[in-house]
Amino acid sequence: VLGVGLAGYPLQGADRAAPVLLLVAAVALVAAVVSLVWTPLPGIVLAALAVEFVLRELDAHVLGWHTVLYAAGLLLLCELIAWADTLRSRALVAPDVVGRRAGNMLLGVLAGGGAAGLAVAAGSIESPNAFVAGVAGAAAVAALVGVVWSLGRRHA
Amino acid sequence: MFLAALFLGRPDVAALGAPFAAFLVLALLLSRAPRLAVTLSLGEERTVEGHHVAAELDLTGEGTLHEVELALALPHGVELDEGSERMIVRIPAGGPLVIPLELVPWRWGAFRLGALAVRVRDRFGLIAYDAHVAGDLTLRAYPRPERLRALVNPLETQPFAGNRVARVRGEGIEFADLRPFVAGDRVRRVNWRVSARRRELYVNEQHPERNSDVVLFLDSFAEVRRERESTLDLAVRAAASLAHEYLERRDRVGVVGFGGVVQWLLPGTGRAQDYRIADALITSEVTLSYALKDVDVLPQRTLPPQALVVALSPLLDERSMRALADLRARGFDLAVVDVSPLPFVKLPPGSPDALALRLWPLWREALRFGYERLGVPVVEWKEGDPLAQAIEEVTAFRRYGRRAFA
């Protein structure tokens, strides 16, 4: 349901890009179905839905809070696909594991939604100099990647 | 996503990647390397196949472990009564989590238990730590015993006291014959009624109570298996039942496992020997071997003179068949229980092997006839039939059949 919602949202109000969006949405949905019934393909689902959203964004501007919801929805969908793969085995799952995992997932999605909101808010800051804005954006991206890398190294 | 946002100059695109980055940072920040101790304990280490064995899986973690996935590696022959061999649990901080398990060894054997694979995931399921725990517990499941009222009586007895009435005459209870009194005879053995009638002293002679040596010859060269049952499974159950019953009658019982790997247990008596035999039998297995073997590979003491040899064989391998004929030629009192492989073979309709399957019983019958001409009783024992029936057939052959072939 979530996948259909995410794939269908960019199609609303799409004009020239509608056929392409439809194709990409179909790819995303097929990948989501394959993920649920056979093998997880969250990368393909994520890439297809993101491409669809970017195409829609290029075609017609999307409202900021819609972007936040869409981004949080993407994260939730990918997490659900990953979780479904964990539960696909014939393992007996304790009920408290399910409850806690769902709670933690919700926490992660809320944090992700907050981060998306921050990104949207940061994007709305008007900069008189395009070069400075570009450098600031690149620095922010590099800083984020650096944080993730250093944390990942700690666990490796 | 971020690079695309930079290139396109669209901050909204970066917002799509932000939740993933935030999730990653959050999960990595909160994740800690887990410390977990897993212990499997068994309620009992010895049981009979088919009986339930209580077990406990103790999990002790340092701090809360949000998602611990356990995969029990149960050996072939053991299963859980309920539930799955894979489980996902949460271990709370401050106390061990005890998972009760109910194990059922559905087949006899010595099983190594306790091996399991553990995967601990962090609270978001992002990072997983894997470990393997080696098993160090042994569960011994003994074959289901079958009560036998009658056994194959050995033709010869040994000089030791036992429960069998020997053919020879001597000190005993069972009346054997009368003979004239000779110097040295005890007065209490005088038969006064006969002596009065014959007007000279006659004494009673008795059959002494002796024991006998029984060797159970288990053919483990080949087996026919169908899902959970095989001819070897049946043979081992029969061997265990026979050994127990012969030992109850104070006979000396030994075991020879004749197959790819030759095993033997010298004849002995008593309860300890019963356990020794059971322990030896549950390690029986079919080991593929092309080596030519005959009874010469066995130590002499495993086959005592005048011993009764009860062979349990599916009569599938030439080497075991030759060994049985060899034993008979060496004068052993031999009886063969043919653990029939026929019920284990099921062919699909229209199979080209159907003709061969029809010829096979005829070939086996001819084989049995060949043994019977040597004076060896061979009885076919099929899955589901009581062992007592096969034993009774052997006894009947020994009583009547041998004369017919003589």
* pLDDT tens sequence across B366-380: 999 999 888 899 999
Tell me whether 0.90 is exceeded by the ipTM: no
How many angstroms separate the CA atoms of B132 and B119, rounded?
Answer: 9
Q: What is residue B235's predicted lDDT score, i.e. its pLDDT?
A: 94
**In the predicted structure, residue B267 carries a pLDDT above the cut 90:** yes
The whole-number average pLDDT for the span B314-328 is 91
What DSSP line would sit under A18-70, residue for residue? Answer: HHHHHHHHHHHHHHHHHHHHTS--HHHHHHHHHHHHHHHHHHSPPPHHHHHHH
**In the predicted structure, residue B230 carries a pLDDT above the cut 60:** yes
Residue in chain B nearest A153 by alpha carbon: B28
Task: Flag if B69 and A91 touch (Cβ within 8 Å).
Answer: yes
Q: What is residue B110's predicted lDDT score, i.e. its pLDDT?
A: 92
DSSP B305: T
8 Å CB contact between B19 and A71: yes
Q: How many CB atoms lie within 10 A of CB A114?
A: 15
A120 chain-B contacts, CB cut-off 8 A: 11-12, 15
B3 chain-A contacts, CB cut-off 8 A: 141
How many angstroms separate the CA atoms of B376 and B333, rounded?
Answer: 8
**In the predicted structure, residue B305 carries a pLDDT above the cut 70:** yes
**Six-digit token pair at B337?**
């229980």
Contacts of B22 (CB under 8 A, 6+ apart): A111, A112, A114, A115, A116
Which pLDDT band holds residue B243 (cuts at 50, 70, 90)? very high
Chain A residues 73-132 within an 8 A CB cutoff of chain B: 74-75, 78-79, 82-83, 86, 89-94, 96-97, 100-101, 104-105, 107-109, 111-120, 122-124, 130
* The total number of residues written for chain B in this structure: 406
Task: Flag if A94 and B89 touch (Cβ within 8 Å).
Answer: yes
Nearest to B267 by CA among B154, B399, B116: B154
Tell me the longest C-alpha to C-alpha distance in chain A: 59
pTM of the model as a whole: 0.75
Q: What is residue B401's predicted lDDT score, i.e. its pLDDT?
A: 63
How many angstroms separate the CA atoms of A60 and A54, rounded?
Answer: 10
Which of A104, A119, A145 is closest, CB to CB, to B124?
A104
More confident residue, B334 or A8: B334
pLDDT tens string A89-127: 777 888 888 888 888 888 888 888 888 888 888 777 777
**Six-digit token pair at B375?**
């004076």
Which pLDDT band holds residue A39 (cuts at 50, 70, 90)? confident
pLDDT tens string B69-97: 899 999 999 999 887 888 888 888 877 88
**In the predicted structure, residue A155 carries a pLDDT above the cut 70:** no
Q: What is residue B210's predicted lDDT score, i.e. its pLDDT?
A: 87
Residue in chain A nearest B85 by alpha carbon: A91
CB pairs under 8 A between A and B: 156
Residue in chain B nearest A52 by alpha carbon: B13
pLDDT tens string B31-66: 888 888 888 899 999 999 999 999 998 988 888 888
- CA-based end-to-end distance of chain B: 96
Strand partners, B57: B40, B99
**In the predicted structure, residue A156 carries a pLDDT above the cut 70:** no
Task: Flag if A93 and B88 touch (Cβ within 8 Å).
Answer: yes
A66 chain-B contacts, CB cut-off 8 A: none
8 Å CB contact between A24 and A95: no
Considering A66-70, B169-173, B278-282, B343-347, the range whose residues carry the highest mean pLDDT is B278-282
Which of A71, A101, A151 is closest, CB to CB, to B29?
A151
**In the predicted structure, residue B3 carries a pLDDT above the cut 80:** no
Find tokens 């920040």 and name the residue. Answer: B29
Cα B285 → chain centroid: 9
Task: Flag if B87 and A75 touch (Cβ within 8 Å).
Answer: no
Which of B6, B16, B18 is closest, CB to CB, to A134?
B6
